[in-house]
Amino acid sequence: MRVGVRESHRRSCATELRRGFAAIAILAALVLGGCERNAPRKAAVRYLENLHESNYAACYGMLSDQDRKDRTLAEFLTEIPLAPDVGPAWFHPVLRSVQFDPGDASRDGINVAVPVTITAPDLPLWERTLDASAGRDRGGGQEAARSLQADDYPKITYGDVIYLTREHRHWQVVADLAERDRIVDMHREAVVDYHQYDYAKVISTYQTMLADLDRLKATGAAGLATRYRAELAAVKVVQAEIPASTAYAAKKVVLGDVAMRMSEERVPAIFGSLTNAGDRALDGVQIALTWYEGRGKNLKAAYIEKHPVVITPMEFTDFSLPVLPFIAGEKRPFGFILTAPVQVQQDAAPYVTVSAIVFTHSNAPLPQLASANVTTKPVASAGTPPGVAVTKPSSAPTPIVAPRQTAPTPAAQNSKP
């Protein structure tokens, strides 16, 4: 009987002991699991703190092995994930105005993702707003520092993600800088194509970039995708307005004082003026120069060259350029170096038209007409023969004989007269 009591007691103690061990194991799992979940978030917060405090070497040190293999510290400084896309002159002031709000970490495939809500200056809108107020003579950069200090600037809030991976018992930031740089380079090319009015190509490039960014599990990719989606939507609006913009260009954008002269580079160039005689502001104007050969039934276009003469950037320029739309009632001079082959310039006769425009859709206020008008003409040598037709001829006029010379160098072609 006493043996049975002892055995029962032993079994009861063993059961209680097992329950105790189980409770300890569960508690340990909860504690360790919580630490494991919090560790990636702490690493993400540390990266953001280093970024906000301009400790870029520490940010670089937190990158994954592959990212540090792909980029040196100097290269990393030109494209820091989650940092504002601005140049050195405004990087620190703008960065200090950015607010980061990290969320909770969660598993995303082989990595851990920490969402981040970012509130930052709406850089293109901010620049246009300050430039409109300052006008062409002063530039908005003079008011930018005051605007940041007074917290008086347009803001944008968007979501991004910090991706982390476990390496050497530490959580490291995954930026996939090589792939990011490839996409950023595609964006630069798309912006150039946009100012050349090749909308179909631009839209295709943006769609490719967005598909790549959506697949990319890299820090900062979601923020880039947000920005590119907004730009793509704007391009699609511009493309849809082609019929309206074509009609406006034909009737409301007036050419004047058009003539061929020698540029400062001593190569033939076209100079003239544009007047916006309509009621809408324009972000872009493109001129087509058509060279005609022959007469009567034999009249034909021998060569066509197109030149953007009003370019209002869609991206932030660090206040390096006056971002001012071509407003209603404004008159602007223009000039561009000829790109037609030398033989075409010798044998054919040119005439110019406004071939395309882009309406302004920015929410920024428009500049005042008095500050927007520019009366200074581009510099050109005197005494060279004028006479460029501004209406399509029924027969080619006598070609303008410019001094014979070799083809312009690439540098001269890309320079503004």
pLDDT digits (tens, 9 = 90+) for 225-250: 999 999 999 999 999 999 999 999 99
- CATH code, residues 10-175: 3.10.450.100
18 vs 167, higher pLDDT: 167
Q: Flag whether pLDDT at 374 surpasses 90.
A: no
Pick 174 or 17 by higher pLDDT.
174
Give yes or no for residue 100 having a pLDDT over 90: yes
When pLDDT is averaged across residues 17-23 and rounded to a whole number, the result is: 45
Q: Where are the domains of the chain?
A: 10-175, 177-240, 250-414
φ, ψ of residue 358 to 5 degrees: the values are: -130, 125
Residue 415 pLDDT more than 70? no
State residue 242 phi and psi, 5-degree precision. -55, -45
Q: Kindly give, in sequence order, each residue whose CB lies less than 8 Å from that of residue 155, ignoring residues fewer than 6 positions away.
A: 119, 120, 121, 122
The mean pLDDT value of the chain amounts to 83
pLDDT of residue 12: 53
Is pLDDT larger for residue 37 or for residue 211? 211
pLDDT for res 261: 87
Q: How far apart are CA 180 and CA 177, in angstroms?
A: 5
Reported as a single tens digit per residue, the pLDDT across 118-154 is 999 999 999 999 999 987 767 788 899 999 999 999 9
Lowest mean pLDDT among 13-17, 237-241, 337-341, 404-408: 404-408
Please say if the pLDDT value at position 390 is more than 90: no
Mean pLDDT along residues 102-108: 93
Q: What is the pLDDT of residue 346?
A: 87
Q: Pick 407 or 33 by higher pLDDT.
A: 33
417 has a pLDDT exceeding 80: no
Three-point CA angle 355, 335, 416, nearest 5°: 115
Give the model's pLDDT for residue 373.
52
Among 94, 96, 76, smallest CA distance to 86 is for: 94
- Once rounded to an integer, what is the mean pLDDT over residues 28-52? 74
Positive/negative CA dihedral, 309, 314, 319, 324? positive
Percent of the chain with pLDDT strictly greater than 70: 79
- Report whether pLDDT(189) > 70: yes
Judge whether residue 267 has pLDDT over 90: no
- Residue-wise pLDDT tens digits, 284-325: 999 999 999 888 788 889 999 999 999 999 899 999 888 999
| 220 compared with 140, residue with greater pLDDT | 220
Residue 188, C-beta contacts closer than 8 angstroms, at least 6 positions apart: none
How does residue 391 score in pLDDT terms, banded at 50, 70 and 90?
Answer: very low
For residue 38, the model assigns a pLDDT of 76
pLDDT in the model for residue 2: 45
So what's the pLDDT on residue 240?
97
374: helix, strand or coil: coil
Contact in structure between 220 and 82 (CB atoms under 8 Å): yes
- Distance of alpha carbon 395 from alpha carbon 295, whole angstroms: 5
